[in-house]
């Protein structure tokens, strides 16, 4: 199978491509705009593979997409290209509307036009897999608020959408577009919604890599509010395996929630990282002494938690990593790849991109 992956230089996209090239016989066409969070060095281990092709393009560029589909003739699309940082969406929502909504529309139309021109057998096998987030569901009751004598509720595939931020609203919009194209045009789409990912090659603006690197640099470890916000954490390589299971065995028109079954308060996550660093790279005082509390984010969702029973029962996927094993692997990876971090945060990587790729 030849798979077109959008956003393949990003955190989840690069993990997916590494998995496909290393663990399967399929080929990948990676289409990425190379924004600040896209990093081709995340794909260095597979970029010489004959089954891998990189194309520098913007999913909002209809002409570029038409050419890509015409030349490379993919059997499936896995759409991960997106702006994804909630804080950035609050201060600058326009980029999220453009990429996540308009870009998804342009990609859908380019893919649909290509699909309509395929022979019947190829049309039957074609898939458009849209990768989304659990944040489209809003938030769930927090243990502090839940008075009933039963288990706390989880997000299921039938949970109503109630996005809280410009980011989650833009992703909810893109989910609706994908489902509308399936219902209106009979276009073969599948949607997945995942919980918070973590692991190697994560751009250091997100919580876990930010805390690891700030701790090592002696900087403050900022915690929003009381740090009691709860997230379900999913190791990115487990997510990559789930996505491949969906594109190869998932049913057209279905939605699959992907979660790690690891609900943790943000403060607990930060304290766990500090404890690991205290053990493997000790300093005079515990890294936990660097924890500071800052004003909470506007509209901050208090709890996310995924019910991933559908994908487990129907496709046989379940996470291999516990949070304890995954976070240790993640901390050790950053300790062993500080040069990678320095390269992408110092501007050296962006200078290389500017020298080697025409900016669209």
Q: Which residues are catalytic?
A: 134-135, 167
Q: Report the candidate in 85, 98, 73, 96 with the shortest Cα–Cα distance to residue 196.
A: 85
Structure tokens at 343: 């390269």
* Token pair for 125: 């096998």
Vertex 193: Cα angle to 4 and 221 (nearest 5) = 105
- Considering Cα of 219, then 223, then 226, then 231, what sign does the dihedral take? negative
Which tokens in the block code for residue 50?
A: 């004959």
| Sign of the torsion angle spanned by Cα atoms 60, 300, 260, 291 | positive
| CA 133 – CA 137 distance, rounded (Å) | 9
The beta-strand segments (E) located in the chain are: 2-6, 27-32, 52-56, 76-79, 127-133, 189-194, 196-198, 221-224, 230-235, 255-258, 263-265, 291-294
| Beta-ladder partners of 195 | none
Q: How far apart are CA 247 and CA 315, in angstroms?
A: 11
DSSP string, 185-197: H---EEEEEE-EE
Q: Which residues contact 253 (CB under 8 A, 6 or more apart)?
A: 182, 188, 189, 190
User: How many residues appear in the chain?
Assistant: 360
Give yes or no for a contact between 265 and 223, defined as CB atoms under 8 angstroms apart. Answer: no
Cβ-defined contacts of 346-350 (< 8 Å, 24+): 349/39, 349/41, 350/36
Q: Facing residues of 224 across strands? A: 294
């Amino acid at each position: 199978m030849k798979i077109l992956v959008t956003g393949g230089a990003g955190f989840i996209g690069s993990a997916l491509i590494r998995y496909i090239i290393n663990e399967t016989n399929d080929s990948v066409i990676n289409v990425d705009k190379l924004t600040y969070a896209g990093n081709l060095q995340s794909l260095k281990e597979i970029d010489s593979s004959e089954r891998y092709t990189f194309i520098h393009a913007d999913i909002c560029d209809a002409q570029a997409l038409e050419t890509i589909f015409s030349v490379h003739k993919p059997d499936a699309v896995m759409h991960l290209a997106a702006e994804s940082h909630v804080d950035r969406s609050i201060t600058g929502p326009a980029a999220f509307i453009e990429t996540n909504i308009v870009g998804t529309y342009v990609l859908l139309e380019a893919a649909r036009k290509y699909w309509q021109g395929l022979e019947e057998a190829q049309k039957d096998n074609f898939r458009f897999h849209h990768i989304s987030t659990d944040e489209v569901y809003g938030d769930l009751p927090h243990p502090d608020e839940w008075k009933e004598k039963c288990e706390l509720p989880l997000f299921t595939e039938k949970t109503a959408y109630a996005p809280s931020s410009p980011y989650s609203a833009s992703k909810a919009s893109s989910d609706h577009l994908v489902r509308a194209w399936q219902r209106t045009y009979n276009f073969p789409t599948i949607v997945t919604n995942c919980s918070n990912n973590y692991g190697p090659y994560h751009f250091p603006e997100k919580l876990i890599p930010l805390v690891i690197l700030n701790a090592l640099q002696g900087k403050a470890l900022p915690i929003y509010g009381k740090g009691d916000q709860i997230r379900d954490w999913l190791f990115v390589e487990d997510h990559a395996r789930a996505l491949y299971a969906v594109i190869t065995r998932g049913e057209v028109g279905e939605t699959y929630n992907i979660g790690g079954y690891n609900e943790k308060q943000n403060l607990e996550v930060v304290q766990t990282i500090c404890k690991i660093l205290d053990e493997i790279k000790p300093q005079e005082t515990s890294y936990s002494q660097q924890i500071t509390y800052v004003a909470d984010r506007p509209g901050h969702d208090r709890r996310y938690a995924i019910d991933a029973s559908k994908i487990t029962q129907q496709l046989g996927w379940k996470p291999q990593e516990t949070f304890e094993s995954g976070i240790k692997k993640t901390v050790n990876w950053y300790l062993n790849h500080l040069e990678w971090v320095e390269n992408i945060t110092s501007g050296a990587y962006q200078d290389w991109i500017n020298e080697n790729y025409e900016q669209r």
